[in-house]
């Protein structure tokens, strides 16, 4: 190889040299991602791991952000500690629903040694919120030192949180897919509309084609009533079982409720604005259902999630 390289014209040699450097750098980063252990943070091996759940959909506008924020509140009401991460790069709007203006985002973790505690916002109802926004694009080009710092900081989330809910974008774009592939569990949101159901099915198909192996839950949002919601849920999961050979967890349904829209306009989560509303009661059932599930043996926590995500970004 060296001999061959030696005989190449100058420009080719420098080109190959640059490529070798690039590969060395990438390999170095991957080693850091794989080696960063929680011991670097706490001085002792941390075994506690949060349930990392990516909320996603095939079609946009089906209610992901609303369900993520309000599910976080419903879990918090059950005594769980929940962090919501805004991972919708195109339409990051968890902050809008919470009526807050974040001072920092994940970008600060990438640029300076800002502790993650300073970036985590205290939301209503005891939940915490990590604004991600466009900062997440830059994870693809992190240098080794920043990468290690980020992993050490996110490992702290496992110490505090029981649940980490990621509000992702819709569809099968590469970054959405990577979030979903890195998560231990998925909540797939769809409405009963045929277009939303077809896109949800397509999303699952793509996910499986990429060897996705998470526990997959489904929520039917904006059902006309419970009968319609559960009927659509049954039919959708039967189709997935038959044609994609996967089993879906029936998390539940949320009815179409005017109070959701009213709450959005007030920039207050509907769970808090209308504590006895239909959608709120539906979400209480969903949170209870989630809470009674068995812990997955393969659960990787926040640290495992970010490691896998960074690893995929580096192979892009
Ligand atoms: N259960 C519901 N009942 C009535 N309207 C809803 C419901 N869920 C969502 N919506 C409406 O759909 C809009 C889009 O929801 P959003 O959570 O922003 O979707 P996504 O994050 O998937 O793009 C909300 O602003 C709200 O008006
Ligand atoms: Mg959204």
pLDDT digits (tens, 9 = 90+) for 22-41: 455 556 555 555 555 444 33
Contact predicate 313/139, CB 8 Å: yes
Range of the domain at 66: 48-139+157-300
**38 in a structural domain:** no
H helices of 89-215, in order, are 94-98, 106-111, 116-119, 144-160, 174-182, 194-209
pLDDT digits (tens, 9 = 90+) for 119-129: 899 999 999 99
Query: Nearest bound ligand to CA 87?
Result: 2
H helices of 169-256, in order, are 174-182, 194-209, 226-244
pLDDT at 188: 97
**221 in a structural domain:** yes
The neighbouring-strand residues paired with 223 are 255
User: In CATH, what number is assigned to the domain containing residue 88?
Assistant: 3.40.50.300
pLDDT at 252: 97
**314 in a structural domain:** no
Ligand 2 mean position, distance from CA 293 (Å) = 26
**313 in a structural domain:** no
User: By three-state DSSP, how is residue 222 classified?
Assistant: strand
* Mutation to probe ligand 1, out of 55, 66, 95, 226 (largest number of atoms < 8 A from CB): 66
Using CA atoms, how far apart are residues 185 and 100, in angstroms rounded to an integer?
Answer: 28
**34 in a structural domain:** no
pLDDT at 315: 66
Domain count, the chain: 1
pLDDT at 216: 97
H helices of the chain, in order, are 2-7, 10-35, 39-42, 64-77, 94-98, 106-111, 116-119, 144-160, 174-182, 194-209, 226-244, 258-266, 270-273, 278-291, 301-315
Nearest-CA residue for atom 17 of ligand 1: 63
Q: Which atom of ligand 1 is nearest to the CA of 88?
A: 21
- Give the strand pairing for 121-122 and 128-131: antiparallel
């Amino acid at each position: 190889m060296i001999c061959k390289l030696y005989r190449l014209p100058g420009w080719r040699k420098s080109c190959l040299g640059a490529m070798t450097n690039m590969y060395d750098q990438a390999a170095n980063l991957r080693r850091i991602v794989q080696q960063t252990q929680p011991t670097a943070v706490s001085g002792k091996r941390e075994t506690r791991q949060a349930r990392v759940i990516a909320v996603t959909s095939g079609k946009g506008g089906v209610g992901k952000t609303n369900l993520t924020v309000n599910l976080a509140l419903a879990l918090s009401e059950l005594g769980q500690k929940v962090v919501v991460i805004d991972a919708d790069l195109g339409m990051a709007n968890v902050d809008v629903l919470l009526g807050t203006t974040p001072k920092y985002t994940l970008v600060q973790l990438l640029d300076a040694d800002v502790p993650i505690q300073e970036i985590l916002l205290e939301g209503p109802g005891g939940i915490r919120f990590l604004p991600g926004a466009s900062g997440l694009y830059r994870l693809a080009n992190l240098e080794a030192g920043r990468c290690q710092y980020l992993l050490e900081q996110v490992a702290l989330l496992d110490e505090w949180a029981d649940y980490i809910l990621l509000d992702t974008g819709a569809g099968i774009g590469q970054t959405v897919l990577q979030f979903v592939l890195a998560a231990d569990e998925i909540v797939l949101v769809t409405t009963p509309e045929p277009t939303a159901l077809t896109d949800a099915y397509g999303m699952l198909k793509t996910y499986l084609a990429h060897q996705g192996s998470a526990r997959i839950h489904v929520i039917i949002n904006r059902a006309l009533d419970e009968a319609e919601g559960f009927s659509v849920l049954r039919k959708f999961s039967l189709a997935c079982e038959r044609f994609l050979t996967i089993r879906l967890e029936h998390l539940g349904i949320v009815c179409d409720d005017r109070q959701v829209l009213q709450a959005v306009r007030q920039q207050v989560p509907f769970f808090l604005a209308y504590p006895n509303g239909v959608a709120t009661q539906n979400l209480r059932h969903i949170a209870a259902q989630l809470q009674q599930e068995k812990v997955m043996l393969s659960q990787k926590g926040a640290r495992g999630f970010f490691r896998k995500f960074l690893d995929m970004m580096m192979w892009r």
